[in-house]
Amino acid sequence: MNQLDALKQFTTVVADTGDFQQISRFQPQDATTNPSLILKAVQMPAYQQLLQDTLAQHAGAPLDVVMDHLLVRFGCSILALIPGRVSTEVDARLSFDTAATVARAQRIIGLYQAQGIDKARVLIKIAATWEGIQAAAQLEREGIHTNLTLLFSFAQAVACGDAGVKLISPFVGRIYDWYKKSAGTQWDEAANAGVNDPGVQSVRRIYNHYKKHGIATEVMGASFRNIGQIIALAGCDLLTISPDLLAQLQADQTPVQQALSADQARLMDLPALHLDQAGFRFAMNEDAMAGDKLSEGIRAFCADALKLDKLLHTA
């Protein structure tokens, strides 16, 4: 049995790509996209017709409307290939505007429903700012499920659990990147691999906290740099993995053992924690890594949204 098939015994495998033509070979349950992945995909020759069709059908519409139609076109194409859910992201430029995030999410869901897609098959991705988490809480009350992304801290996870969001995507690789860069020449790769990887440790802490305290929010590890990080999280609710790493897992026959267990987490002595807005903001302020990576991630997604705007305007 290859590692990908073995991993699927413990964890729901999710494909992290906008290139839906790659999805079938890995047979994931779900799939995730983000602005950077969609920007990359629409510049591929294989997706030029999809782009041109979307532009033709919505000629003269505001750019934000055309963008949402494009995202939903990709999402519908992905849903035709998988049995589960697709995550579609709200424009990162709305990350600090609760009302605008809610409105944009409602519009995206409406576009999916117009294509005959049940809203249960769509997760609206929202940056895990305080404002984004409050938007997710409102959407969940309306029956629109959310995926809180750019999640780097325990405080963000606690707030998401309190808000009742459907799923969170704690980032592994970007946490790893920050600590490796911060350590500089003192970084010891072997000593910080596997269960000792700081990104892996962050996800494990969140997973154990949720299971210990009966928090229903699903944990989906994301942003991986190597298959060692993935294997160290076998047993997590879900893991969203790029096609390159899915291919590596598929080619590797090394045995995979379950690393995370809800039953074991329930036996742990872990204190409950809840955060109001002041507590959340203070915790984020005290976590230099989380503050840096959240801001950096929003800026990067905003930059790619602007590039996508330009492409839509000039295509």
- The answer to whether 40 is a known catalytic residue is no
Given 8, 125, 212, 293, the catalytic residue: 125
Q: Which residue is listed with tokens 């996870």?
A: 157
> Backbone dihedral region of 60: left (phi > 0), alpha (psi from -120 to 50 degrees) or beta?
left
Output 19-26 pairs: Cβ under 8 A, ≥24 positions apart.
19/44, 19/46, 19/47, 19/243, 20/74, 20/77, 20/78, 20/81, 21/46, 22/243, 23/78, 23/81, 23/82, 24/81, 26/243, 26/246, 26/247, 26/250
Output 6-9 pairs: Cβ under 8 A, ≥24 positions apart.
6/234, 6/255, 6/256, 7/230, 7/231, 7/234, 7/239, 7/249, 7/256, 9/256
CA dist 148 and 125 (Å) reads: 6
- In sequence order, what are the beta bridge partners of 80? none
SS3 302: helix
Q: Which residues are catalytic?
A: 125
